[in-house]
C-alpha cells in the first residue's frame, strides 16, 4: 500500500495522490475522492453540507474543494471545523463594572 505524503509544514499533498479511492470526514459530512491512474481527481461532494444547496455551481464547488484542502489535518485525515471569521460580542447590561 502506498503512503500518502504530507507536503511542507504539515500540509496534505493532494496533487500527488496515488491511484485509489479516498474518504475524508469532518463536522459537515464527508467527501470521496477517486484518483485514476493518470492522477485525475474526481471529487464527490454529495455528502458535504456546503454543497447540498441545489443552486451551487461549479465555481462554488471549486471553492468548497479548496476550503476542504486547506482544512484537512494531514496527521489524522479529518477535516477541521471551519474557522469563524467574525465573532459577535454582546454587551451584558447586568455585568458589574
CB-based contact 68:24 (threshold 8 Å): yes
Where do the domains of the chain lie?
Answer: 8-78
Blockwise average pLDDT, block size 10, the chain, 97 residues: 48 84 92 94 89 76 90 87 63 62
Residue 94's pLDDT is what?
67
Residue 55's pLDDT is what?
72
pTM across the whole model: 0.69
Residue 76's pLDDT is what?
84
Instruction: Using DSSP, state whether 80 is helix, strand or coil.
Output: coil
Residue 36's pLDDT is what?
95
Residue 84's pLDDT is what?
62
Query: Which position has the grid cell 504530507?
Result: 6
User: 53 is written with which cell numbers?
Assistant: 444547496
Amino acid at each position: 500500500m502506498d503512503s500518502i505524503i504530507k507536503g511542507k509544514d504539515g500540509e496534505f499533498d493532494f496533487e500527488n495522490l496515488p491511484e485509489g479511492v479516498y474518504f475524508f470526514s469532518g463536522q459537515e459530512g464527508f467527501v470521496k475522492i477517486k484518483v485514476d491512474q493518470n492522477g485525475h481527481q474526481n471529487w464527490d461532494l454529495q455528502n458535504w453540507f456546503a454543497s447540498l444547496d441545489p443552486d451551487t455551481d461549479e465555481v462554488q464547488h471549486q471553492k468548497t474543494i479548496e476550503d476542504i484542502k486547506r482544512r484537512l489535518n494531514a496527521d489524522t485525515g479529518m477535516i477541521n471545523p471551519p474557522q469563524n471569521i467574525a465573532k459577535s460580542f454582546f454587551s451584558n447590561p447586568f455585568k458589574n463594572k
